[in-house]
Amino acid sequence: MSRLAGWFRSSAKPDDASATGSDSDSSRDNMAKEMEDIDDAMNSSGLIMNDDIDGAWEKLQTGDSSFHQLGLAVTIFMRCEARAWNDYKKAQRHGKARAGSKIYPPGTEYELVRAETQLMGAVVGVLHESLIEAMKSFYKLRKAFLTLDAIIAVEDKAFKEMEKAQAQAQAQTEDASKKVDEKTEVDSKDSSGLQTPVDPTDPSTAATSPSDEKSEEASLQSKPVTAETVLVDNPLDIFVHSGANMCFGILLLMLTAIPPAFSRILSVVGFSGDRERGVRMLWRSTAYSNVNGAISAMVLLAYYNGLLGVVDIVPDQKDFDEHADIVGPPREKCDQLLASMRQRYPNSRLWRVEEARQYSNEQQLSKAVEILTTGEESKMKQVAAVNNFELSIAYMFIQNWDGMRDAFLRCLEVNDWSPALYYYMAGSASLELYRDAIHRGDEDEARRQKVKVHEFYGKAPSVVGKKKFMARQLPIESYLHRKIQKWEERAKAAGIDLADAIGPSPALEMAYMWNGPKRMGPVELERAMANLKWERCTAKEEVVEAMKKEVDEMGIWALLNGTLLKRMGKYDEARALLEEHILKQDKYAFKGPTRDDYVPPAANYEVASIAWVECCNPPEGTVEEIAAYRRKKFDECQKQLDIVKVWEVYLLDARIGMRVQSGLETLAWFKKKMAY
């Protein structure tokens, strides 16, 4: 037994035989065991610092605590990278790899392994709550980036050579076919010099027709060999091709959606993302029925259903072309991809979540909830947590307040991303239940729900900052902390309870953060309009009137209503509301410790999205009139997005900025398509 265990045991009284004493002994034994595990795991992991990774691995395997598993995870990355480097050098010494790749130089497969371990190590470092660790991780990321870039360059060169060889072979085939045609033409002439007609209904002549043979050969060779069309069949080539495209595709895509703080770091280490190239690579990888293809499918579906699910300015289906799938979801391809994944992995809950997201994006929220609440729960904690969070926001969009409250409270049990947000969401749902009870005259229920509102909103600020990203507080937590502080100040000034000092629905304001209106059908939109009425507020009339005079409070109400009106097709009403209560106001009226500074840039974005909808749905007219109308609305959309793009720093700039950036990429696609 270790000295730590002995030290803890020595504090126990030998003559204490009571039940309380037994519990105390047990508690001390558990504490002693934990301290012993920490001591052993730290000592074992310390061997890494002495360049003895194998020794650390062997010693850490003798323990089964979380601390030992953490040490093993670190050694796995390090051992894998070291082993891959040794195997890479060995492959280079022995020439061609054993599998005999026709595309990649010897050892490329091990270079890919090293790049993957560097990527995983970088992810772990970025998630560490330290800016220094994050910086180190970005240098690892750069190493992986350069390795993957080199592999793809080799691959592209090989495919170009194959394409060139194919073109030469096809030219030779066409020359040979031409000579056969000329000879056939001479042979088919009769003695009078006239060509003998061929009966197309005669099967014997049809089967031997030289023109048919030529057509068949041409069709077999019509597809050029490119990274998009070729399917490799060598196991080594499949591993490298699918893996490199998966890793580099994810990297390039994710780098286009990073927050501003990371952009500054990336400018230091000198690399950037490429959304088009990344998406193409991921689609390439999905052609293979292995784990690389599955991960690529997962990322693509998350990109289309998740990231682009909160974006309004995407290609209209009427304008969709072969380049549009970079900036907008190709529905048919996504359906086929999801179906293939569900067939390949029938027991995975992950693909059910993606299916629910697709239904949600198609305004079928009830169907999404049905999928998320049926079937077996995932055995993987992470997948179960994602499923529950998707269910939580789906309930919020439907405005099922009981379901929303319970689902977000369960998030506290299965996920630790933001306890403050989960309590805030539960409080927002309870507030709606409180307002419902007040308006139907149920005093007992209203009293119960009011207690819950105060309980959950009271807990949220106490756990703000528990989870950080790069040592910084999550922006969404800063936002909700300011909201609660604002209500507390108003309640104190007016001499009323917190629950009665709240203005427009906080739940629907949070729904806006996930672009809930885009997912709402006609029923949910009408319900949301009703839930945003000032009459829902439970404060006295004079207090509500005072709220309306607060520029940022009225701005929130106008922003939420304007977004709903836009989704209902009432574009003029939506634009007028945004203009009157937000865009015509002094933007400095939205600034302050407890004010909502995101409202003006969000309003400009909404005006841009209205212009885009109008651009995609022009009124009837001549071709020239339609073209002029579309160009006018395109320019309006571009102007508004450019305004938001250069907006000064505000609290939720990452969320709004992501929508703006995606919108700008869509406009760039449309501009090229229309040759503006």
pLDDT given at position 378:
86
The answer as to whether 49 is a domain residue is yes
The pLDDT confidence band at residue 10, using thresholds 50, 70 and 90, is very low
Whole-Å CA distances, 397 to 57, 390, 409, 505, 518 = 49, 11, 17, 12, 10
Would you say residue 18 has pLDDT above 70? no
Q: What are all long-range contacts of 81-85, with beta carbons under 8 Å and residues at least 24 apart?
A: 81/114, 81/117, 81/118, 81/121, 82/53, 84/110, 84/111, 84/113, 84/114, 84/117, 85/110, 85/114
Domain match, 545 and 589 both: no
Out of 260-264, 411-415, 591-595, which region has the weakest mean confidence (pLDDT)?
260-264
pTM to 2 decimals?
Answer: 0.80
The answer as to whether 406 is a domain residue is yes
CA 57 to mean position of chain CA atoms: 35
Q: Between 607 and 80, where is the model more confident? A: 607
The pLDDT confidence band at residue 2, using thresholds 50, 70 and 90, is very low
The answer as to whether 274 is a domain residue is no
Would you say residue 481 has pLDDT above 50? yes
Joined together, the tokens standing for residue 381 give 């904690």
Out of 36-40, 190-194, 313-317, which region has the weakest mean confidence (pLDDT)?
190-194
The answer as to whether 469 is a domain residue is yes
Mean pLDDT of 187-192: 47
pLDDT given at position 197:
35
Joined together, the tokens standing for residue 618 give 């022009």
pLDDT tens-digit readout, 305-331: 988 988 999 999 999 998 999 999 999
Domain match, 411 and 544 both: yes
Q: What are all long-range contacts of 641-644, with beta carbons under 8 Å and residues at least 24 apart?
A: 641/313, 641/605, 641/608, 641/667, 643/601, 643/604, 644/601, 644/604, 644/605, 644/608
CB distance 440 to 400 below 8 Å: no
pLDDT given at position 201:
35
Q: Between 344 and 134, where is the model more confident? A: 344
Joined together, the tokens standing for residue 346 give 């029938």
pLDDT given at position 567:
96
pLDDT given at position 258:
64
Would you say residue 596 has pLDDT above 50? yes
Would you say residue 218 has pLDDT above 60? no
Q: 452, 463, 358, 462: which is closest to 401 by C-alpha?
A: 452
Would you say residue 140 has pLDDT above 80? no
How is 366-417 classified by DSSP, letter by letter?
HHHHHHHHSSPPPSSHHHHHHHHHHHHHHHHHHT-HHHHHHHHHHHHHH--S
Q: Which of 127, 150, 173 is the last residue of a domain?
A: 150
Mean pLDDT of 624-634: 96
Phi then psi dihedrals of residue 50, to 5 deg: -100, 20
Would you say residue 374 has pLDDT above 60? yes
Q: Which of 85, 116, 150 is the last residue of a domain?
A: 150
Domain match, 554 and 422 both: no
Mean pLDDT of 151-160: 87
Portion of the chain with pLDDT greater than 70, in percent? 79
Domain match, 46 and 93 both: yes
Domain match, 577 and 452 both: no
Number of domains in the chain: 3
pLDDT given at position 4:
37
**C-beta atoms surrounding 216 within 10 Å:** 9
Portion of the chain with pLDDT greater than 90, in percent? 50
The Cα 530–Cα 347 span in angstroms is 41
Highest mean pLDDT among 169-178, 272-281, 594-603: 594-603
The pLDDT confidence band at residue 62, using thresholds 50, 70 and 90, is confident
Out of 78-82, 149-153, 242-246, 595-599, which region has the weakest mean confidence (pLDDT)?
78-82
The pLDDT confidence band at residue 266, using thresholds 50, 70 and 90, is low
pLDDT given at position 72:
76
CB distance 399 to 369 below 8 Å: no
Q: Which of 520, 549, 578 is the last residue of a domain?
A: 549
Contacts of 392 (CB under 8 A, 6+ apart): 404, 407, 408, 410, 411, 425
Domain match, 393 and 448 both: yes
Q: Which domain holds residue 391?
A: 380-549
pLDDT given at position 12:
42
Would you say residue 460 has pLDDT above 70? yes
Domain match, 665 and 518 both: no
The pLDDT confidence band at residue 51, using thresholds 50, 70 and 90, is low
Domain match, 564 and 503 both: no
Domain match, 419 and 535 both: yes
Mean pLDDT of 321-342: 93
Scanning 515-595, the segments in alpha helix (DSSP H) are 516-519, 522-531, 541-548, 551-567, 571-578
Out of 229-238, 274-283, 301-310, which region has the weakest mean confidence (pLDDT)?
229-238
Q: What DSSP designation does 648 have?
A: P
Would you say residue 49 has pLDDT above 90? no
Would you say residue 669 has pLDDT above 70? yes
The answer as to whether 308 is a domain residue is no
Mean pLDDT of 139-161: 84
Q: Between 77 and 224, where is the model more confident? A: 77
pLDDT tens-digit readout, 498-552: 999 999 999 999 999 999 999 999 999 999 999 999 999 999 999 999 999 999 9
Domain match, 544 and 563 both: no
Q: 484, 481, 472, 556: which is closest to 513 by C-alpha?
A: 556
The answer as to whether 284 is a domain residue is no
Domain match, 602 and 516 both: no
pLDDT given at position 97:
44
- SS3 helix, strand, coil % of the chain, rounded to 5? 75, 0, 25
The pLDDT confidence band at residue 467, using thresholds 50, 70 and 90, is low
Domain match, 544 and 560 both: no
Q: 328, 391, 405: which is closest to 357 by C-alpha?
A: 391
The pLDDT confidence band at residue 202, using thresholds 50, 70 and 90, is very low
The answer as to whether 174 is a domain residue is no
Would you say residue 83 has pLDDT above 70? yes
Q: What are all long-range contacts of 74-83, with beta carbons under 8 Å and residues at least 24 apart?
A: 74/45, 74/48, 75/45, 75/48, 77/117, 77/120, 77/121, 77/124, 78/48, 78/53, 79/53, 79/54, 80/113, 80/117, 81/114, 81/117, 81/118, 81/121, 82/53
Q: 146, 128, 149: which is closest to 137 by C-alpha?
A: 128
Q: Between 203 and 381, where is the model more confident? A: 381
pLDDT given at position 210:
40
pLDDT tens-digit readout, 399-421: 999 999 999 999 999 888 899 99
Contacts of 243 (CB under 8 A, 6+ apart): 112, 116, 285, 292
Task: Decide: helix, strand or coil at residue 293.
Answer: helix
The answer as to whether 491 is a domain residue is yes
Mean pLDDT, the chain, rounded, equals: 82
Which residue(s) pair with 468 in the sheet?
Answer: 473
Mean pLDDT of 348-361: 93
Mean pLDDT of 184-203: 42
pLDDT given at position 443:
95
Would you say residue 134 has pLDDT above 60? no
pLDDT given at position 182:
58
